[in-house]
Structure 1
Amino acid sequence: MGIKEEYSRAGARLLAHVDNGTTDWAPSVRRVPVDDYLNAERWEAEMEAIFRRQPLLLALGIELPENGSYKTMEIAGRPVLLSRGKDGQVRAFLNVCSHRQAIVMPEARGKASRFTCPYHGWTFNAEGKLIGLADRQKFGEVDTAELGLVALPCTEKAGMIFASLSPDAEFDLDTFLAGFLADMEWLGLENWYYHATNEIRGACWKVVTDGFLEGYHFATAHPETINANTKSNIMTFDFFGPHQRVGFARQNIQEMRGTPEDEMWRSEGVHFSFVRFVFPNVAFSLSRKGGGTWTQIIPGTTSGETVAYQHIIFPKAPQTDAEREECQRVTDFYREVVTTEDFELGFRIQKGLESGAYKDMVFGRNEWGNQHHHASIDGYVVEPEPVRKRA
C-alpha cells in the first residue's frame, strides 16, 4: 500500500469516526505498573537496552546544512558530537577527548572545521581524527591514528540522522523503522527550513511521551488551543514495529465529505493531521503544508526528569519580515502550549505517581498508542523477543 492510499484510508476512518462517535480501539484496556515509571532499576534498564543500544533520531540533516556544521547533546549519560565532514557525510562521535576524557565541545550547535579540547588543546578534525597535540615534542611518542574521537554507528536518510550511543552496536535503519521510512520520506525533510529550538523541562520521559500519543486530553487540557482546531478523542492508529502514526480529525473535517476516498490524502494537514512517533522518543507534529514541530524527549539523570527539545521547522524559509514574524509567533505559541498545558500537567502526573495512591496506570482502549508504546518498551526491557520483531 502506498503513502497516498494509507493517508486516504486514515482520513476516511477519521471521517467515519466523527459520524459514528467512535475512534480506533485497542483490543482491551491495559494496565501499566506505576513502578515502571518510578523504579530506578527499571529506568536504568531502559537507558541501557533502548537509549544506549538502539538507533536514536538525533538530528535532522537541515540542522547540519554545510560541511563543518556540528551539533552536540547528552543522552543517557553519553555526550554526543555530530559533525558533517568535508565529504558531506555526517558522523557521530562520543564528545570526549582521548587525552584526559574532558568534553571537547560544549552543548551547542555551530560550524567548525576542527574541535579543540579546552583542557590541554588536543585538536580533532570534522572526521574525528586527532590532528594536533599541544607541545607535542614534550608529550612523548603516541600513535595519533589510535587516538581519534570514538566513532558511533551513524546513518543519514530521508533528512534524518540516526546514531547508536554504543560504538559496537550495529543497526539497519530500514529494518529498525519497520516500514515507517516511506512515511518519513514523504515529508521531504531534507528540504525544510529549520527556524528555532525551544528547550523545555519535563517530568519522566514516559509521562512526556504519553502525552503525544493520544488526543483524549484535548478538550480538557487544551480547550482554547489545540481543541479549537482538532477534535478531542477521535483518533486512528497505525503501527510500524515500535513506531506509530496517530491520526487526528480537524474541526473542519466535515468539509472533506464528498471527496473520493482515493483523493482524501490531499486533505492531510487541512482536514486531518498526524503525529508521527519515532521510537523511543521523537514526535513529529507537522504537515507538508504548514510545518510544525519535531520534539526530542531526552531522559534526564533520574527517572523523574526530562529535557525536551522542541524544534520548529517549516517547508519553506520565510522571505519577508511578515513571514519571519509569523514563524516566530508559531514558535512562541508551541512553547507556551507545551510548557503551560502539557508539561505542567506532566509534573502533576509525576507527583501523583510518586504519591503511591495507585499501583497501576490504566490506559483505555481509546489510548491504543500509549498501550503500544509501553508494550514496545517492555519488548526491549522485559520480554526476550522485542515487540518490534513481532508487530
Structure 2
Amino acid sequence: MGPEPADCEVLVAGAGPAGSACAQMLARAGLDVLLVDRQDFPREKVCGDGLIPDAQRALARLGVLDAVLARAAVASHVGCVAPRGGRVEVPASLAVLPRRTLDEIVRRAALEAGARWFAPARFEAPLADGNGRVAGALLRLADGSARTLRARWTVLATGAAAPPLLAAAMCSRRAPSGVALRGYVRNEAMAGRLRQLEVVWDRSLRGGYGWIFPCGAGVFNIGVGSLASQGGSKPDLNLRALFASFTRVYAPARALMEGGRLQGELKGAPLRCSLQGARWSRPGLLVAGEAAGSTYSFTGEGIGKALESGMLAAEAIAEAGSNDAGVGARYEAALGALRPRFAAYAHANRINDHPWLADFVIWRARRSPGIVRRLSGVLEESYSPGQLVTARGLLRLLLPVS
C-alpha cells in the first residue's frame, strides 16, 4: 500500500518567527503549507523585543522589514553599562518592536504568500507511517478534541518548551539554557531620558544582565536574563529577586519602575541557546527556531537566527522537489555551518559569569574608538564576540587601537 493522502505538503507547528518564516518561504516556492499554533494571533511572547542587524536582514529577505520598522522604535546605539558604572555607546542599526506585533506581521506575510492557517491547535505528537517516518501530527484543539493532519514534511518550531520536543523524540536535554523575565512599563517622563537600548551588568545579577529597551510612546521593555555557561539553567534562580536586584542597583531602572505603570504582569520564559538540546532532523521532520536552540548565549538574542533557521528548513524542503532523500542532511549541514558563530557567543558568555570582564572591556572601549568598532562588529556579526574574552583577546584590548 502507498502512503495515505496528505492534508498538506508541509505542516509547520509554531507560528513564531521561525515557523512563519519557514511557511512563507515554502508557500513562495509553491508548496501547500499549513501553519498551526497553540494560540490564536495576535498573542504575546516573552522576549526583549530587540531587533539587531541579523534580524533586520532576515526580515528584509521576507519582505517585511519596512512594515516592521514603520511600527518599531528605531535606535542607533546600545548603551553598555559595567558593574562599576562605566558606560560605552555602541553604534548599530537597532529597533524594538513587541513580539505581539512583530510575530503577527511575519505570520500575515506567510498567509499572504499562500500558507493556510489553523489555530488554536497544539502539537501533541507526530504521526508515523509504517516505516517510522514522520507523516504529520496529532493536534489537540481548544475544546480538548484531537485532530490528525497528514503531511509529507513536518517542521517543529514550537519554541523553548520541552514537551513538544519530547513528544517528537527530538529532545536531548530537557533543561533550558537560560531564563528571562520581562515586563512593559509606561513612563512618559522617562521617554526623553532613555532613548537608546541599555544593557547592564552587575555582580548582583548572577551570571546575567538587565536591559531597558524603549518601545516608543513612553513604553519600555525592561527585564533580566540569566544564561548558563554549560548545559541547563542555573539552579534555584528566583527571577523576581533578580529583577528586584536590577531595579535596586541601576538608578534608571529604579526610576522607570517607581514612576511608571506596569502594562500587564512581569512574565518569564525559558531560553534554548547555542544550537544545543535537541536533534535537528529525523525522516519527515525538521526542528527549527528556539526549539533547535537558535538563541545566542551571552546576548540572549534569538529572533534573527530563529528566522534564519526557519528559512534554512524551507530551503532544504523546497530544493528537494518530489525527492525527500537528503532533506535532513541538507538542513543539518546548513544549520551546522552556524555552529562556530554560536560557539563564539557561548564563549563570550564568560562576561555574564565574570562581571569584572565587562568592567575591563567597557573601560578600554571608553578609551578606544577601535574597540567600540569591535563591539559594534559583534552586533553586526562582523566580529566574533569570543575574541573579546580569550587570553589573547584580552591582551589585545590593552594595546592601542585607533
TM-score of the pair, normalised by structure 2: 0.24
Q: Which one scores higher on RCO, CA 8 angstroms, separation ≥ 6?
A: 1
